Chains A and B, each alone.
Chain A
Amino acid sequence: MRAVRSVALSVFRESVRDRVPYSLVLFAVLLIASSFLLGQLTAGQDVKIIKDLGLAATAVFGLFIATFIGIGLVSKEVERRSIYALLSKPVSRPQFILGKYAGLVLTLAVNVSVMTLALYAVLAWMTFTESPEFRAAWDAPGMDPALLKAIALVFVELMVVTAVALFFSTFSTPLLSAALTFGLYVVGHFNADLRNFDRIVDSTAAVWLARGAYHLVPDLSAFDVKLQIVHGIPVSAGYMLATAAYGACYIAALLLLSVVIFSRRDFK
Chain B
Amino acid sequence: MPAAIRIEQLTKDYAIGFWRKRPYRALDALSLEIETGEVFGFLGPNGAGKTTTLKLLMQLIFPTSGRAEILGRPAGDVPTRRRIGYLPENPHFYDYLTAEELLTYFADLFGYAGEDRRRRVSALLDRVGLGAERRLQLRKFSKGMVQRVGIAQALINDPEVVFLDEPMSGLDPLGRRDVRSLILELRDQGRTIFFSSHILADAEALCSRVGVVAGGRLVAAGRLTEMLAFQVRGWELVVADLAPHVLEAVSRRARRVTPIAHGRYALELAAEEVPEEAIRNLGAAGARLVSLNPIRDTLEDFFVRRVAEADAGARTVARPEVSSARR
Contact = CB atoms under 8 A, between A and B. Distances in A.
Do chains A and B stick together as partners? yes
A81 interface: yes
B141 interface: no
B232 interface: no
Interface string A74-108: 00000011111111111110000000000000000
Interface residues of B, number: 35
Contacts of B14: 266, 268
B84 interface: yes
B84 A88 contact: yes
A89 to B, nearest CB: 4
A86 B58 CA distance: 11
Q: Chain A: interface residue count, which band? A: 20 to 34
B91 interface: yes
Given A2-B111, A6-B105, A6-B108, A88 B94 contact: no
A89 B92 contact: no
Contacts, number: 81
Contact of A87 (B58, B97, B154, B163): B58
A2 B94 contact: no
A82 B93 contact: yes
A267 B61 CA distance: 6
Contacts of B93: 82, 85
Contacts of B153: 85
A100 B77 CA distance: 21
Interface string B272-292: 000000000000000000000
B156 to A, nearest CB: 9
A91 B96 contact: no
A84 B105 contact: no
B81 A10 contact: no
Given A6-B109, A91-B109, A84 B94 contact: no
Given A85-B88, A85-B153, A85-B154, 14 more contacts: A2-B108, A2-B111, A9-B105, A10-B105, A82-B92, A84-B88, A84-B91, A85-B91, A85-B93, A85-B106, A88-B85, A88-B88, A90-B79, A264-B62
